[in-house]
Amino acid sequence: MAASRYLQIAEALRRSILGGEYPVGSQLPSESDLAARWSASRGTVRQAVALLASEGLIGSRQGARRIVLRRERRHSFAELNSFAQWAQGEGYEISSRILTRTRRPATPTESTRLTLPPGAGVLYVVRLRLLDGEPAMLERTAYADWVAPSVEELPDDCVSIMNSLADAHGIVAHYGDHLIDAVPAGSVDARLLHVRRGSPLLRQRHLTCTATGRPIEWTDDRYVAGAVTFSVSNSADASPLSRRAGRLDG
């Protein structure tokens, strides 16, 4: 339990806010107060509050005390790249069926996104995801050739491929790009997701990379309308000074 000092402070403050000790709209103690209370320097306290600010929990204006903006916890990045992780956290019964798993040459889009050399192959996987037994999402993923062997040795009913890759091979997703839009269901989508052709789907395409910027996968996920809503919070002072914490890659 040797977490950094600023993480401890942040965690304590977070708990106080979530627990209602500092109600929404109220002021946080000043930095010097907190520094004294934790016998830490002001700089360390600032790291802690910067972290909370980046989570959207608190806001700040120069000269005025920090203010509690909201009381809910926001989910972090890992859950964005992992449908399974998110769904389990929300208490859903989740299952998935692999419909296709083939090696084939990369399409032009995949080559570009995954920055593959011309002629390289990918492992193409189509999975149907169900929430509480209902079809909720259709996932088409192209894995870069260098991870393909690791993916292929996973069992067919593997719930979270990214989690398994991290555990078994130390391949950890570090960041990603996401493109979100709405598209009409194609005939394949419609049949598999049990919706009418042309009905709205929420599409999320994303690229996942390692900490060194090496692309892992390029995915096209299509959600049944109403099954999922993306939620974003943003603050004007988009957390500039956030010196950050993070446990990654092996």
DSSP 1-60: ----HHHHHHHHHHHHHHTTSS-TTPBPPPHHHHHHHHT--HHHHHHHHHHHHHTTSEEE
Q: Which is nearer to a second copy, 194 or 244 (CB)?
A: 244
Q: Which is nearer to DNA, 35 or 84 (CB)?
A: 35
Pick from 152, 76, 141: nearest CA to 113: 141
226 binds, among a second copy, DNA, none (CB under 5 to 8 A by kind): a second copy
225 binds, among a second copy, DNA, none (CB under 5 to 8 A by kind): a second copy
Residues 205-234 that bind a second copy (CB under 8 A): 209, 211-213, 223, 225-234
Half-sphere exposure of 156 (CA within 13 A, CB side): 6
| Binding residues for a second copy, total number by CB under 8 A | 77
Q: Compose the 124-163 pattern: x for residues touching a second copy by CB under 8 A, - for all others.
A: -------x--------------------------------
Q: Does 187 bind a second copy (CB under 8 A)?
A: no
Q: Compose the 10-49 pattern: x for residues touching a second copy by CB under 8 A, - for all others.
A: --------------xx--------------------xx--
Q: Which is nearer to a second copy, 95 or 101 (CB)?
A: 95
Contacts of range 158-166, beta carbons closer than 8 Å, 24 or more positions apart: 159/84, 159/94, 159/95, 159/96, 160/82, 160/83, 160/84, 160/85, 162/81, 162/82, 162/208, 163/82, 163/84, 163/85, 165/216
DSSP-derived secondary structure letter, 27: B
d(CA 248, CA 250): 7
Interface residues toward DNA, by CB under 7 A: 2, 4-7, 28, 30-33, 39-44, 46-47, 60-66, 237, 240-241, 243-245, 249
| C-alpha 166, offset from chain centre | 15
Q: Does 55 bind a second copy (CB under 8 A)?
A: yes
- To a second copy, the closest distance from the beta carbon of 164 in angstroms equals 17
Q: Does 172 bind a second copy (CB under 8 A)?
A: yes
Pick from 182, 173, 217, 229: nearest CA to 202: 182
* Options 40, 78, 99, 158; binder of a second copy; rule CB under 8 A: 78
